[in-house]
Amino acid sequence: MPKIRFLFIIALSVLTYFPRPSYGQEDWKEVRSMLTARSEMPAAVLDDKIYVPGGFGGLDTFEVYDTATDIWETLAPMPAGRDHLMATAYDGKIYVFGGFVRWQPQSTAFVYDPTANEWTALTDMPENRAAGVAVVVDDFIYVVGGVSDDESVAPPLLRYDPAQDEWTTLAPTSVVRDHLAAVVLEGQIWAIGGRSTGVEYHSVEIYDPETETWETGPSLNVARAGFNATVMDGKIYAAGGEVFAVCPNDDCPQTLDTVEVYDPETELWEIITQMPVPLHGVPIASVDNALYVLGGSKEAGAILNDGRVFVYRP
């Protein structure tokens, strides 16, 4: 037997007995599926319930998941159908902004009152925006990144004052970041990953609301867009996504299953687990130190997940 072939067989045998780590997939469990299978939508957490508006194809669907009872409920539909919209919870209500209508970004803004099960229109954003993220710092809501009418220019950071129903335009990120993730950690806004013209980023930028300036943050291990992130137990969790720029064997786009975590103590990102299936266009949320992954799609430009919901507890 040739020496090279013999060594290959030995190496293959070693891999058989010592397989690559699964990154803790056994720590995931599946709970009740969404009532409507969807992708390319956000999620907002209020009182341990996860609210999910809109979805791919311009859906006006609005549902809520009770993490305590494992029950989904259909709520009053949004005033207008949207996908790639932005949403967050603030002061007992759910705020939604922008999104695409047939791939055209919109400027509309609405607020939902869970007590009345009603929507109310707000002052439009200063510009059209989709595929960004809405986050809350103190008494303001910020719309971070995304796509505006001119896709070649990084859109400004937008700040909304719910008390006055007014918008303020602030400094943009250093590069265009659409399909990014964004979170608030220790009072600062993290704009994570994303892409521009089909090129995904490892990079991160951090905005300080007090100085109104951006600075470079620690880079992801995996360049990704079309993913989501949340803060849980003082750490940032980023999950899923897609890659168009560099794919193995020209198999593009590649949908991702990895979850990585940023720990402020180590100042590093670490891949800690893999989702049960690769997903993009997927919202994630944290409730009671559990990470919820809701819907999304195994392929770009589709809704291939049947609305399944997975839960990860570190």
CATH number of the domain at 136, please: 2.120.10.80
In this prediction, residue 18 carries a pLDDT of 29
d(CA 184, CA 38): 25
d(CA 231, CA 294): 16
Structure tokens given for 107: 């400027």
Contact yes or no for 125/107 (Cβ under 8 A): yes
Question: Is 144 among the domain residues?
Answer: yes
Question: Is 36 among the domain residues?
Answer: yes
My answer on whether omega of the bond before 253 falls inside 30° of 0, hence cis, is yes
Question: Is 10 among the domain residues?
Answer: no
Question: Is 220 among the domain residues?
Answer: yes
Residue 5: pLDDT over 50: no
Question: Is 20 among the domain residues?
Answer: no
Question: Is 185 among the domain residues?
Answer: yes
Domain enclosing residue 210, as ranges: 25-312
Question: Is 13 among the domain residues?
Answer: no
In this prediction, residue 64 carries a pLDDT of 98
Contact yes or no for 293/24 (Cβ under 8 A): no
Question: Is 170 among the domain residues?
Answer: yes
Count how many domains the chain has: 1
Name which of 14-23, 160-169, 301-310 the model is least confident about.
14-23
Confidence of residue 103 (pLDDT cuts 50, 70, 90): very high
In this prediction, residue 13 carries a pLDDT of 33
